[in-house]
Structure 1
Amino acid sequence: MKYYISVLCLVASIGIASCGSEKNKETSSSQEIESIANPKNTPLETAPMDKADSLVAATIAAHGGKRYDTAHYGFRFRDKKYTFHNTNSGFTYTVTGHKEGKTIKDILQNGTLTRMVDGDTVQLSPKDVAKYTEALNSVVYFATLPHKLKDPAVNASYEGLTTIKGKDYQILAISFDQKDGGVDHEDHFMYWVHPQTKIIDYMAYDYETNDGGVRFRSAYDPQTVGGIRFQDYVNYEAPVGTPLKELPALYEAGKLKELSRIETEEVTVLEE
């Protein structure tokens, strides 16, 4: 009994220190989210962060945050090896594969594609440049979601809450401006974000090319490498024209056809 006072003092002391530590963590996280949503540090009274922007920023922070800005990684997707390197001056993506005994490497640097075959640069037609640029961009885009959701051409809207398999999710809808929105600027995306963790557990998109399509993806087997989260996805197909918002209900009812698995393998941090 006589130790109660000293024990209580010790507990109180620990509690104060712990609260201070947690407050610092929350402040740091809040500052990072604000930095992502407002990279130019515009005064908040002239550039308020709406709910969609806030959710985008929080989701990016949960998946990797500022680490994306200088990320240099390699990974394997299906039968090819990829790298991506982000810097203050831009980005460099590469993909290396083999065909008919030859090594083919595409290098995409700040939007300009170069193809090398067995170490020699080869010329591609404008059509092929667009084709292979989009293919490389697409793989890195999905592998590093949600990093690119902060790009200037992205339009985000908050679509409320829903429930998938007994869990609540915030709904984030994404569209793109034609300017700087890429060749697929007419595509639409939807993300279902866990309200506490801010992790994307489900996503969907529609596209217009090749007669159009609708896809729904369920994340699994997450791995965090060098502070950045990478996720694999079960890729489902839905009939063309299906509204993205209806896909979770169709998924729960077992009415979506599994099309493929999107697996990012052998993820490694690369040296400078």
Structure 2
Amino acid sequence: MKKITLLALVLLTIWACKNDPKQENVEEVKVEDTTPKDGGKGAEIIKRVIDSAGGHRYETATIEFKFRDAAYKSVRNCGMFELSRSRTDSTGTPTESIITNMGFIYKEKGEQKTLPDSMANKYKNSVNSVHYFVQLPFGLDDPAVRKELIAEDSIQGKAYDEIQVNFKKQGGGEDYHDTYIYWVNKNTYKVDYLAYSYETNGGGMRFREAINPREVEGIRFVDYKNYTPKKGSSPKLNELDELFEKGELELYSTIENKDIKVEVLDRKCG
């Protein structure tokens, strides 16, 4: 894998100037870099990624799918949303967890129940996480998302832009401290690989390889092979692609979303 970081290019330019005798008597002029981390080239690339995966169709889409032992459904209509998960718990009781613009609702046998905050947050985060990954890259254009082009890269002979994503505390959700890296194919503007670090449940990091890409009603979906660093190793997040190429990551799970159904309203949001 060949990786060219933006920092390396800057250092190379500085070295060249210092070793050019014609530059010795030129007064140094400092130019402040005013490019915001949540704008610039990284944001431009992510916008093209979203457009290539479905674009505005996400904004009014109803998406249903099955993941493991549960049925999931998301309904969006120009900023209004409802994300739900329906399943039967270990006691045989039908349950439903619902996230809306107004908050979180939990039901058993169709009746709303009040849960302790810790349990409600656990269910809410679990439901939101599944919907988030299924609908990626939708949501990466949110104002709370910082997108930064950190390198040009190659994986298995294909060229990628390496985009690091962080979240602002305000509007970034409970997991705003998580960090993601997306490898965007330079030719297709598809996300073929992603990695992320997290702090919940003791923390850790994952590397995902997108598999089984398909389109349903103009929206792109993928499954994933989900990898983890070997026990005892402590690589940096942006090194996981190198370890993947060397076969030094362990397959943690395979993530398959089945029976995907999509309905898109014939309207555009303002």
Please give the TM-score of this superposition, normalised by the length of structure 1.
0.80
User: Match for 2:243 among 250, 265, 268?
Assistant: 250
What secondary structure sits across from 1:147 in the alignment? Answer: coil
1:63–1:228 contact (8 Å) kept in structure 2? yes
Root mean square deviation of aligned Cα: 1.6
2:174 matches 1:172:
no
Match of 1:194 in 2: 185
User: Which residue identity does 2:178 align to in structure 1?
Assistant: D
Distance in 2 between residues matched to 1:246 and 1:92, nearest whole Å: 36
Structure 2 vs 1, CA of residues 56 and 258 (structure 1 numbering), >3 Å: closer, same or farther?
same
Distance in 2 between residues matched to 1:59 and 1:178, nearest whole Å: 24
Structure 2 vs 1, CA of residues 88 and 246 (structure 1 numbering), >3 Å: closer, same or farther?
same
Distance in 2 between residues matched to 1:162 and 1:247, nearest whole Å: 12
User: Match for 1:55 among 19, 27, 45?
Assistant: 45
Aligned residue runs from structure 1 range 67-78, under 5 A: 67-78=57-68
For each residue in 1:109-164, what CA deviation from the matched residue of structure 2 results, as whole angstroms up to 9, or x when unmatched?
11511111111111111111211111111000000001010111101100121110
Distance in 2 between residues matched to 1:163 and 1:64, nearest whole Å: 25
User: Which residue identity does 1:220 align to in structure 2?
Assistant: I
1:214–1:237 contact (8 Å) kept in structure 2? yes
Match of 1:117 in 2: 108
Report deviation, 1:50: 1.6
User: Which residue identity does 2:237 align to in structure 1?
Assistant: L
Please give the TM-score of this superposition, normalised by the length of structure 2.
0.80
What secondary structure sits across from 2:95 in the alignment? Answer: strand
Distance in 2 between residues matched to 1:92 and 1:235, nearest whole Å: 27
Aligned residue runs from structure 1 range 14-33, under 5 A: none
Distance in 1 between residues matched to 2:187 and 2:157, nearest whole Å: 15
Q: Give ranges in structure 2 of 5+ residues lacking alignment.
A: 1-37, 266-270
Q: Percent identity?
A: 36
Greater than 3 Å deviation, 4+ residue runs: none
What secondary structure sits across from 1:58 in the alignment? Answer: helix
1:214–1:242 contact (8 Å) kept in structure 2? no
Aligned residue runs from structure 1 range 1-272, under 5 A: 50-99=40-89, 100-110=91-101, 112-238=103-229, 241-270=234-263
- Write 1 or 2 for the structure with the bigger share of helix: 1
Structure 2 vs 1, CA of residues 246 and 111 (structure 1 numbering), >3 Å: closer, same or farther?
farther
What secondary structure sits across from 2:115 in the alignment? Answer: coil
Report deviation, 1:223: 1.2
Report deviation, 1:231: 0.3
2:62–2:75 contact (8 Å) kept in structure 1? yes
Report deviation, 1:269: 1.7
Distance in 1 between residues matched to 2:78 and 2:263, nearest whole Å: 17
Structure 2 vs 1, CA of residues 133 and 266 (structure 1 numbering), >3 Å: closer, same or farther?
same
2:193–2:210 contact (8 Å) kept in structure 1? yes
For each residue in 1:215-252, what CA deviation from the matched residue of structure 2 results, as whole angstroms up to 9, or x when unmatched?
00001101100100000000000257421211111001
Distance in 1 between residues matched to 2:42 and 2:262, nearest whole Å: 31
Distance in 2 between residues matched to 1:193 and 1:271, nearest whole Å: 26
Q: Give ranges in structure 1 of 5+ residues lacking alignment.
A: 1-47
1:214–1:241 contact (8 Å) kept in structure 2? no
Report deviation, 1:202: 0.3
What secondary structure sits across from 2:50 in the alignment? Answer: helix
Match of 2:12 in 1: none
1:82–1:95 contact (8 Å) kept in structure 2? yes
For each residue in 1:162-193, what CA deviation from the matched residue of structure 2 results, as whole angstroms up to 9, or x when unmatched?
11011111111000111111111110000001
